[in-house]
Amino acid sequence: MRFTGKVAVVTGAATGLGRVYALRLASEGADVCVADVDLQGTEKTASLIREKGRKSLAIKMDVTSEEETIDGARSAFETFKKIDILVNNAGIVRGVSRIPLEDLKLADWNRIVNVNLTGVFLVSKAFVPYMKKAGKGKIINISSGVALHGGSLRQDYVTSKAGVIGFTRALAVDLGEYNINVNVITPGGVEASEARGETPRPFSPDRVGGRYIRRLIYPADLDGVVAFLASDESDMITGQVINVDGGRVFVG
């Protein structure tokens, strides 16, 4: 129960990996504020957290809206009186256009970058002041392995996720004096269909191509990493890229 007495905030927690992260933190004692544009799904996650005996608050939050992120942070603080952990998980991965650069529309580029990168900025900006006042905190940003090895016809998505790494490192420099740790996880192709309530895709060798540990990556391979980075055990780890991809890319 590493997080007894701690309060966590998880964005993009209506379903999928965000829900997995929120439930893992709650299972170890945290009270959790869950935020997502999908309020119905977010309320379901909050209900599952309460079933574990923890407190939870569901917030409808569009991470691209400065007003909604500020209001969400205020609501979370008014409810729980502190913020110890922030997991910036909200992002777009499905529906990303796979087209040549010359055919990529500015509106599509902005849609991806605004959610995946600007959203991390706005949510962090809204919650960091509460962590500064406390003099301690953990911020875990979720990027993607494509930020390290690239991806064909995905300029918008790859750039947005690479930006999260740069933002993480810049923020870690500035927040160290407040004992706030900022780290980023780069998952590599997670099989999260079941977590999203979908039928898992069939296994094929190309889905593990390039990995030294040649199996699929599941949500259970990630939630423990999130919990570790959120815990006091990681107090001297900041500004780091934690790559969870079975060894496809070595981060130096």
- Which residue of the set 21, 157, 212, 218 is catalytic? 157
CA 227 from chain center: how many Å? 12
Q: How far apart are CA 49 and CA 171, in angstroms?
A: 30
Q: Which of 37, 42, 52 has the alpha carbon at shortest distance from 19? A: 42
**CB of 143 within 8 A of CB of 90?**
no
* Residue 157 falls in the annotated catalytic set: yes
Of 166, 252, 172, 245, which is closest to residue 212 (Cα–Cα)? 245
Question: CB burial class (10 A; 0-12, 13-18, 19+) of residue 55?
Answer: middle
User: Which tokens go with 36?
Assistant: 């997502």
Q: Which two tokens stand for residue 104?
A: 């990529």
Phi-psi region of 100 (alpha: psi -120 to 50; beta: other; left: phi over 0): beta
Contact 158, 109 (CB under 8 A): no
Taking the C-alpha atoms of residue 152 and residue 178, their distance in angstroms, rounded to an integer, is 40
Distance CA 127, CA 81 (A): 12
Question: Residue 247: left if φ>0, alpha if ψ -120 to 50, beta else—which one?
Answer: left
Q: Which residues are catalytic?
A: 157
